[in-house]
Amino acid sequence: MSAILDALARALRDLFNLRVLWVVIWPMLVAAARASGGSLVGNLWNALVALLLFIALWGVTLPLWLMGVGVLVPFIAAAYLNQRLFRYDALAEHASADEMAALFKSERGGWWGLGLLTGLLQFVPLLNLLGPVFAALAFIHYGLARLRQQRDASVA
């Protein structure tokens, strides 16, 4: 949980810094070895699958709105969509396909937690305008930190 909060805090800090790309994100990207486990086709496929499952989730859960439980559906759907889209984008350039699969599996709770917390922003007026940028920064921080930990653990 502290890793998620740390990623959110760093993303919030970076969101309001005009030099964020060159001062914060660029050194992180340069420090991580590029493995290019993702591709444009992979990204498009990931987005298509995420969108189809998102729509299916909404369709399947429509009866829940009649029972009052449907209030939770937007939060769960936003968490799913955020974690599915942003985790791939955050690691596509720097993790190999095997590293990405391992991180997606081992850090599943972290990805979902971060997706839920960043997904809540889309329900707050005015903050929802900055929500996608904030979510992308948070997922980049979290994903690259987990990738660095995974690589350090495999070397040791």
pLDDT at 23 over 60: no
Least confident of 34-43, 61-70, 80-89, 104-113: 34-43
Contact (Cβ atoms closer than 8 angstroms) between residue 7 and residue 141: yes
CB 110: neighbour CB atoms within 10 A? 19
Q: Environment class of residue 46 by beta-carbon count within 10 Å: exposed (0-12), middle (13-18) or buried (19+)?
A: middle
Q: pLDDT, tens digit, for every residue of 25-77?
A: 555 655 566 777 788 899 899 999 999 999 999 899 988 888 888 888 889 99
Q: How confident is the model at residue 133 (pLDDT cuts 50, 70, 90)?
A: confident
Q: What pTM was computed for the model?
A: 0.78
Contact (Cβ atoms closer than 8 angstroms) between residue 75 and residue 116: yes
Q: Environment class of residue 141 by beta-carbon count within 10 Å: exposed (0-12), middle (13-18) or buried (19+)?
A: buried
Q: Which residue has the tokens 């987990």?
A: 146
SS3 125: coil
Please give the DSSP secondary-structure letter assigned to residue 92: T
Structure tokens at 9: 């805090």
Structure tokens at 111: 């990805």
